[in-house]
Amino acid sequence: MSQPAMSLANLENTLNQVDDIFYTYFLAALLIAVGIYVTIRTRAVQLRHFGSMLRAVASSRSGAQGGISSFQAFAVGLAARVGIGNIAGVALAVVAGGPGALFWMWVVALIGMATSFTESTLAQIFKERGRDFTFRGGPAYYIKNGLGSKTWGAIFAAMCIVSVGVTVVMVQTNSLAGVVNATVSTVEPWMVGVALVLLTGPVVLGGLKSVARVTEVVAPLMALAYVLVTIVVILMNLGEIPTVFWEIFRGAFGRDQALFGTAGGMLAAVLNGVRRGLFSNEAGLGTVPNAAGTATTSHPVRQGLIQSFGVFVDTGLVCTATGLLILLATDTYQPGNEGLVGAVLTQQAVAEHLGQWTTWPIVVLIFVLVFSTVLGCYSYSQVNVNYLGGERRAEQAFGILLTAAAFAGTVLTLPIVWALTDIALGLLGVINLVVIVRLFPWVRGALRDYEAQRAVGVIPVFVGHGNPLMPGDTLPGVWEDPIATVDGRLDAVDDARLTGN
């Protein structure tokens, strides 16, 4: 081996070690700690208001007034969340941690729903008005407008553009090219790249509204299609479902060595479930708020609830679907047997249940999921391009850069980029988690405002100036809608302030 090759191998090995330690111990612990903190401080908003989440999503297509609707912002976040990680990541977790890893993914998703609610509500509170009736919001904006630090906002924005808009896109498309090539060797990676460019380029060059229009159709449809496949498999294996769930719970607490994954033991189930769960639903990383802040909505809490529901869809539905497909495929998957891994394991599990004819439909599904994830990454990054002062030409230039990254990811070998991407996303998460804890009083005030109005039967409408429940005033021109003085609102706010509810 040549000296440069050895140096690259050493660098890759070092980065992977740093990545494992950083993710598995420090960042996972921080994400869980903050999730528990905001769950307690919001009195388990993700449980108390789950019905409100469903109603908010169901009624979120209207009211954009020329901007981006709540549902479109939800779909953009869902597009970025639901990608190859839900197919390959869950498979890796179940192989390494056994069936019990799925249980711990559920646990962190339940906690993460409160974190996602918090960061998305902040994105709404501190958003800014952009051109064409659209808004811009996210961690960079609530760092600047909430903490008063333009510098740290710019640092976060720059890191987000590079890590999400370039490297995450490259590793997503790299994984896709590998799956397609493994399925049909005659399909070269560059062919996959060309197909992605032809699909992605026209959409991202159209800007955020164009991305929102596409993702509001593609993302929910693909998630639904995948869940429907799982429902068919469940119906075919109804008698096995109680056994599978029993294995999940036994494996979660290390009750049966036969259910241990390749890493072995209860600790492996916990660490793999927690790690894969946290970075599948993205709660706390500061990525989804970039989509949440673009929505035109009547109250920040309403969008916070909608984005929180996205965590449930990502893990509770899509990741669970992957887990059940694999665990029910007793010929394809055996605990402790490395065999097939990643997306190929999920692909073969579906083939075991429904036949080899499903191989290509699953490849197409994976392709569309990666395509929608790339669009979600564009949306997240574009918000931060705007924060740094980029206007229409800068947006188009970034769209070209992202499209080029999508192609490059299919033809390059990216082991070092994979590790750097993980570390960069983790650093984004650390900054974001510190910020949302410091700004939590704003979320608590907005939640009290929302609940006070709901208690007296008023449709919640937020006023960001002179609101006695808030720590201060929001930016001029954002939350000053005159319809916010609907009958009964001020009485509700006063009652909440006087009673301390």
Same structural domain for residues 247 and 113?
Answer: yes
| CA dist., res. 163 & res. 376, Å (int) | 13
The parts of the chain modelled with pLDDT lower than 70 are 1-9, 12, 60-67, 131-133, 207-209, 216, 254-269, 271-273, 279, 334-342, 390-392, 413-417, 481-501
Task: Give pLDDT tens digits for 276-287.
Answer: 777 677 788 888
269 and 378 belong to one structural domain: yes
pLDDT digits (tens, 9 = 90+) for 66-78: 567 777 777 777 7
**What CA dihedral angle connects 267, 424, 114 and 229, to 10 degrees?**
-70
At 268 the pLDDT is 62
**Domain contains 161:** yes
Same-domain pairing of 403 and 429? yes
Determine the pLDDT at residue 147.
Answer: 92
Single-letter code of the amino acid located at 349: A
* Tally of domains within the chain: 2
pLDDT of residue 482: 45
Q: Which domain holds residue 498?
A: 455-501
Quote the tokens at residue 313.
């869809």
315: domain CATH number? 1.20.1740
Amino acid at 64: A
**For residue 126, is it within any domain?**
yes
Q: What is the DSSP string of 330-397?
A: TTT--TT--SS-HHHHHHHHHHHHH-GGGHHHHHHHHHHHHHHHHHHHHHHHHHHHHHTT--HHHHHH
Average pLDDT, the chain: 79
Report the chain's terminal Cα–Cα distance, integer Å.
68
Question: Are both 423 and 463 inside the same structural domain?
Answer: no
**How high is the pLDDT of residue 61?**
63
Please name the residues in contact with 408: beta carbons below 8 A apart, sequence gap of 6 or more: 170, 193
Residues 243 and 142 occupy one common structural domain: yes
Domain assignment present for residue 446? The answer is no
Examine residue 2 and state whether it is found in any structural domain, yes or no.
no
* Residues 388 and 494 reside in one and the same domain: no
Give the pLDDT of residue 201.
76
pLDDT attached to residue 299: 93
Residues 350 and 460 in one domain: no
Q: Is residue 290 part of a domain?
A: yes
Break the chain down into helix, strand, coil percent, rounded to 5.
75, 0, 25
- Helix residue ranges per DSSP H, 82-207: 84, 90-97, 100-125, 139-147, 150-162, 169-183, 189-204
CB 131 within 8 A of CB 395: no
Gap between the Cα atoms of 271 and 284, Å rounded: 18
pLDDT at 151: 92
Report the alpha-carbon distance of residue 399 to residue 390 in Å, rounded: 12
User: Which letter does DSSP use for residue 22 in this model?
Assistant: I
